[in-house]
Chain A
Amino acid sequence: MSETDEMSSIKAVAMGRIVAMRRMNRARRLITFLVLIAATTLGATHTSRAANLTGTVSDGASREALGFVNVVAILLADENERRGASSDGDGVYLIEKLRPGTYRVMASRIGYETRTDTVRVTEPVSRFDIRMSESALPFDPVDVTGDRLAKEKEVQTGLVSLDTEALKALPSIGEFDPIRSLQLLPGVQAASDISSGLYIRGGGPDQTLVLLDQVPVYNPTHAFGFFSTFNGDLVDRVKLYKGAYPAEYGGRLGGVVEIQTKDPKVDEFEGFAGLSTITSRVTMQGKAGSRGGWLFGARRTFLEPLLSAIRTEDNEIPSYYFYDLNGKYFYESRDGDQVTVSAYNGRDNLRFDLDEDSFINLRWGNTLLSTSYSHIFATAFLTNFRLSMSEYRSDNDVQIFTTPFSVDNRLFDLSARADVTYELNSNRRWTTGVLASTYKFEFKQTFNEDEQLDYERTPYDVSVYIQDDWQATETTRIQTGLRGRYFSDGDRYLAEPRFSIGQRLNDQWRMKLGGGLYNQYLQLITTEGFSAGDFYVPIDETAEPGQSKQIVFGLEYEPSDEFQYTAEYYFTDLANLVVLDNRVTPDQEEITAETLFVTDGSGWASGVELFAQRRVGNLTGWIGYTLGWTRRTFSELNGGDPFPPKYDRRNDFSAVATWKRGPWTYGASLVYGTGQAFTPATALYALQNPTEDLYEVFVLPGERNSARLLPYHRMDVSVTRDFTMFGKQAKWMVQVFNIYSRRNEWFVQYNTEDLSTMPEVFKMLPLIPSLGVEFDF
C-alpha cells in the first residue's frame, strides 16, 4: 500500500468514524424527536389528521426558553397558505393543520432578531427547534407582530408585561427601578415621592403580592421606600396583574407583581457595571460546567463619605447605606431538565449617634433562597417544583438619655410548590399546583429593659389550584380556575373561583371580562408615607380574613401594529377589612387581630382606565388616565360613615415618551393626580388635661379624609447616549427627577401646642439630578 493509499485509508476510517458518530448523534436526536413527536401527535390527533409543526424556541446565547415568540409558517408553494402560533412560557410552540410541504418559518419577538428558516413539514408531525439572537434595537418594528399575537393569546384583564428594555428607557432617579416604573401605569400610584409601595386600583400596598422569581418579598423597599429591593440590571421581565388575577396566584385582595430575573448565560463570561450618583452596581455571569451558568449581581450605596463630609456639630447627619446581593445558578441537562438555585440578600442600615447616651439604629432587609427543578415529560406535560424561603426582619434600637427601646420583628416563610401543566392540544391547557407554606411571625418590643411584648405565631397554609385555559373558538378564549386554601390560624377553608374570557371581535377589536374571589390572611402594618420597620401579622381566629370580589371589563383596539388602545372598567367589593388601631396602648402584652386592628370594615373601589400606547418607531410611549373612586366603612371610624382612604384618587393621568435617535435616547414622563385625601382641622375646643391638671386648647379633627392636598404633578426627563468603551457597549445618562421642581404636598401638620401658628405643609422632593454610566466588561 502506497503512502497515498495509506493516508486515504486512514482518512476513510476517520471519515467513517465521523460519519458513524454523526449517525449516532442523529439517531439520538431522532429518538428524542420521535418521543416529542409521538407526544405531540397524541395531543394533535384529537383535532386533526393534517401535518403539525412543533418545537421549542430558546435564546441562542443563554438557551433560556422563550415565551411569546410568534412563529409563522408560510407554504412556499402558496404564500396564502400560512398559519401561526405563539410559544408558551416554556418556549414550546405548536402549529396545527398544515398541508405537507416546504415552509418558510418566521419567528419574531420583541428584543430579538427575526429569524427565518426553511422547513420541510411532513405528516403527521415535524419538529423544528428555533434559536433566537438578541436584537441591538429594543423596538424592532417586526417584533410587534409577535408581541401582538402573544397578547392576543392572553385573556387576562389588567395584565401588563414589560421587559427590561422598555422599563430601562423610562426616566428614573439614578437607576432604573422596576417597581417605581410601574407607578407610571394607569391605575397604579405611589403614596409619595419616597414610596415604592404600589397602590393599585384603590387598594393598599399590602393588597398586592410581590414575587421575585416566584418567591414572595415581604418588604420590597430600600431607603424608606425610595428604591425597591430589585436591582434593575438583573430583571428580565416585570409582570403586573392589576386585578382579577388567575388561580395560580393567591393571598392578596388586589394584584400581583411578578419580577423575573435573568437566567444566566451559559456560553461566555459577561460583565456589566453601573455607577450613578447614588449607587454602584456590578453584574457578572458566565458558564458553569458544560450545561450550566451562573449570575451574580451586587448593588450598594456609597453615600457614607458624602454624609460624613457634610456632618457637623450643628448639623447631625445620620450614617446610612443599603446593599443587595443576587445570585443565580442554572443547569440544563441533556434531557431538558432544568435546575435553578437563586439567592437574594439585602439590608438597610441607618445609624444616628445623638450623643454618648442617645442613638438611633435601624436595620432591616430581606433574604430569599429558592431552588427549582423543572422536567418535561413530553412537550405537552411540564412539571416544576420549587422549595423556597423568604425572610424579612427589622431590628430597631433607640436609646434616649440612657433609656433603651427596641422593636424587632421577623417574618419567615418556608414554602414548597409544585406546578403541572398539561397541554391537551394547542387549544387547551390544564394547569394545577399545590403550595404549602409555613410562617413564623416574631415581634419583640422592650422598653427600659422591660420586655413589653414577645409575640410569636407559627401558622401554616396549604393552597391547591386548578386552571383551564381553553381556546373555545377561533375568536374566544376562556380561562377558568379554582383555588382552595386552608389556613391554620382560625382553622379556615376557603374556595376562590376565578375566570377570564377574551373575545376577539375582529382583527382590531378585542373584548375581555375577568373576575374572581380573593382572600387575604396577612396584614401589613406600615406607615403610608414611607416604608421602614413594616411588619406583617396574620389574621388569626379573632377576626375574619379580608375578602374581595372583583369584576373587570376591558376593550382593546389595535388599528395597526403601531398603536394600541385599551379601556378597562373595574369594580371591587371589599369585606372584612382591617386598619391598624392607632389607639392601642404601647405596652399591651397580647397581640391578636382584634386588639391590633379596627376590624369588620367594608368598602369598594371602582373606576375606568384608559390607555393609549405607541409601541414601535423611534418615538414610543403611552398616555394613561384613570377615573376612580374608593370608599371604606368601619363602625368604629368616622362615626360609622363611609370615607375615602388616603389613596382615593379621582383623576390620575400619566404620559411617557421615549425617543431614540442614533446613539441618543431621550425620555420624559409626566404624572398628574388628584391630591390625596386627608383629615382637616374643623374646630378648637378646650379641656382640662386630667393628668397634668392644665387647661388646654385642642384642635378637633373633622370627618376622616374629607379634604384634599393640592393636585400632584411631576415631570421627569432623561438623556442617554450609547457609546463604546474598549470595544464594549457602554452608555452614560443624565436624569432629572421633578424637572420643574414642583414641591408637591406630602402631609399637613397641625400645631396642637401653639394654636397661634398656622398649619404647616410638608413638601415632597424638589428637582433631583443624577448622573450615571453603565458599561459591559
Chain B
Amino acid sequence: MSRRFLSCLLAAWLFVGGCSADRNLGELLVPDDVGVLVLDGFLVVGRPLPAMRLTRTANPDATFELEQITVPDVARFLVRIWRDGQVLGDPIEYRYNPNIFAYQPAPGVGGVHRVLPDTRYDLEIVTWAEERLTATTTTPPAFSIPEWVILDEAGESTMQTLTHYDEVTFPDQVYKENEVVYSVGLLEAQFERPDVPAFQVGIFSLDLDSDYVIDPDFFEEEDFEDLDRIGSSPPLAGEDGTLRLPWFAIYFEGRYKVKIYAMDQNFYDLVRSAPELSGGGPGFGGQIGDNFERPIFNIEGGIGLFGSAAVDSIGFFVKPRP
C-alpha cells in the first residue's frame, strides 16, 4: 500500500511539476483595440478655444510613435456652442494644422473665442472613412479662491495668509511675499464651492535645480531620482469649500505654483476612472483589485477627453526646515 501511495504521489509530482508557471509576457498585451479614434481636447474657462489632437490607439506591444498614429485629416471637425437651448452662431470649424487641429477665427466676429462659463460645447468629427466621433462638455462656472492660508498643526487657527494674484497676471513678486517653511502648518485653500463634480490639484516645482527638502531614512538614492517636480491629486470633492495640500506632495525647496481645477463631468469621469491621470498607481490586472478597467471617456465613436475646467492658482516659496 505504501509503495502504491508513494508511487501516486511521485507521479502526481512529476506530472504537475512539469508544468511551468513562466510565460511569454507579450501574451499579456492583447492588441484587441488598436486603431480606435482618440480625441484630446480640453477647454479652460476664460482661455481661447484650444487646438485639439486626433490620433488612433496603437499596438500595446510596439514602440509608441505619435506620428504614426496621428489622424492626418478628416472630412468634418466642428464645434457648436449652445446657449439657452440654442446654437450660438455658426459652428466653429477646425482644420488640420500639422499634428493638431485648430480653428481660424473668422474675420469680423470678435477675434479669438474665449471659453464661456456654464456653456455647452458640442463636438462632431467625421473621418474620410466615415467614422463619426461626437462628444459634449458643459463648462463649469467661473472659479476663484479668495483665501490661501497656512493653518497651525491642529488645523484650528490661521498662522499665515498668502497673497493671492489673478491667475493670468501672476507676477514673480508673489513668491517673495509667500514664503513658507517646509512641513510647518497646513496649507489650505478656502473658497465658495461652485457647482462642479470635483476638483483636481496640480502642483509644479518651478526651480528645476533646487535642492530636496525631504530626507527620509527609508529612501535609497534612486528613490530621490523618481521624485517628480510636477504632480497632481486624485479628484477631490472639497464639499466644505476647502482643500488641504499635503506636505508629502512637496519634495523640493524653491518656487511652487499650485493650481486648482474645478472640473466638468467629462474631466472628472476620466480622472477618477484613470488613476494614472492623477498621480495614481500602476494598473493591476489579476487578483489584486479591480482598478484596472477602461476609463470613462464620455465620447461616442472613440476614446479620449473632450472636457473643460475653471482654474485658479497660488504661488509660494518653500524654505527648508531650519
Contact = CB atoms under 8 A, between A and B. Distances in A.
Interface of A: 191-192, 316, 354-358, 400-403, 447-450, 527-529, 579-580, 582-590, 618-619, 637-639, 646, 655, 657, 659, 661, 666, 668, 670, 672, 676, 678-694, 696-704, 706-707, 709-711, 713, 715, 717, 739-740, 742-753, 755-756, 758-763
B299 to A, nearest CB: 12
Given A690-B309, A707-B285, A679 B292 contact: yes
A189 B259 CA distance: 48
Given A401-B214, A752-B282, A582 B246 contact: no
B218 interface: yes
Contacts of A402: 183, 247-248
B66 interface: yes
A383 to B, nearest CB: 46
Given A448-B186, A586-B234, A684-B58, A748 B216 contact: no
Contact of A690 (B1, B290, B305): B305
Contact of A191 (B60, B66, B287): B287
A709 B19 contact: no
Nearest to B200: A691
13 contacts: A401-B247, A582-B293, A587-B238, A587-B239, A589-B240, A690-B261, A692-B202, A698-B276, A700-B60, A715-B13, A717-B9, A745-B286, A747-B286
A491 B232 CA distance: 43
Q: Which of A579, A696, A700 has the most CB of B within 10 A?
A: A700
Contact of A666 (B5, B239, B267): B5
Interface stretch (B26-34, B107-115, B164-172): B26-34
B1 A682 contact: no
B307 interface: yes
A753 B282 contact: yes
A690 B33 contact: no
A689 B274 CA distance: 11
Given A354-B217, A589-B239, A759-B25, A713 B19 contact: yes
B164 to A, nearest CB: 20
B272 interface: yes
Contact of A749 (B155, B202, B283, B309): B283
Contacts of B23: 710, 761
A528 B287 CA distance: 6
Contact of B248 (A403, A690, A698, A753): A403
Contacts of A763: 21
A691 B232 contact: yes
Nearest to B238: A587
Contacts of B53: 686, 688
B251 to A, nearest CB: 9
B218 A742 contact: no
B17 interface: yes
A579 B294 contact: no
A9 B26 CA distance: 103
Nearest to A639: B294
Nearest to B239: A589
A350 to B, nearest CB: 16
A725 B241 CA distance: 71
Contacts of B36: 683, 685, 700
A680 B284 CA distance: 9
Interface string B225-257: 000001110111111101010111000000000
Interface in B190-243: 198, 200-202, 214, 216-218, 230-232, 234-240, 242
Contacts of B247: 401-403
Contacts of B242: 450
Counting from the closest, the 3 A-B pairs by CB-CB distance are A747-B286, A355-B217, A683-B57
A754 to B, nearest CB: 10
Contacts of B309: 690
B75 interface: no
B69 interface: yes
B86 interface: no
Given A691-B202, A692-B230, A743-B21, A699 B60 contact: yes
Interface string B289-307: 1111111100000011101
B9 A448 contact: no
Interface in B1-46: 1-2, 5, 8-9, 12-13, 16-17, 19, 21, 23, 25-26, 28-34, 36, 38, 40, 42
B246 A680 contact: no
Given A355-B217, A710-B23, A745-B21, A690 B34 contact: no
A127 B34 CA distance: 80
B154 interface: yes
A683 B183 contact: no
B282 A749 contact: yes
Contacts of B60: 681-684, 699-700
Contacts of B200: 691
B155 A582 contact: no
A711 B20 CA distance: 10
B1 A618 contact: yes
A349 to B, nearest CB: 20
A448 B248 CA distance: 10
Contacts of A580: 290
B283 A699 contact: yes
Given A580-B290, A586-B236, A758 B21 contact: no
B285 A678 contact: yes
A692 B261 CA distance: 11
Contacts of B177: none
Contact of A670 (B12, B38, B66, B274): B12
A752 B287 contact: no
A740 B17 contact: yes
B40 A687 contact: yes
B97 interface: no
Contacts of A638: 293-294
A691 B259 contact: yes
Interface in B78-96: none
B198 A585 contact: yes
Q: Which of B16, B42, B269, B290 has the most CB of A within 10 A?
A: B290
A713 B58 CA distance: 35
Nearest to B231: A692
B129 interface: no
B131 interface: no
Given A681-B283, A685-B55, A752-B283, A528 B237 contact: no
A355 B216 CA distance: 6
A448 B246 contact: yes
Given A583-B273, A618-B1, A749-B282, A688 B30 contact: no
B102 interface: no
A687 B26 CA distance: 24
Q: Which of A448, A668, A763 has the most CB of B within 10 A?
A: A448
A586 B198 CA distance: 11
Contacts of B234: 585-586
Nearest to A709: B286
Nearest to A586: B234
Nearest to A755: B64
Contact of A619 (B1, B26, B237): B1
Given A403-B246, A691-B232, A743-B21, A685 B12 contact: no
Given A403-B246, A676-B286, A691-B277, 19 more contacts: A354-B218, A357-B183, A401-B247, A527-B289, A583-B273, A646-B286, A666-B5, A683-B36, A691-B259, A698-B274, A700-B36, A707-B285, A717-B9, A742-B16, A745-B21, A750-B292, A756-B63, A759-B28, A763-B21
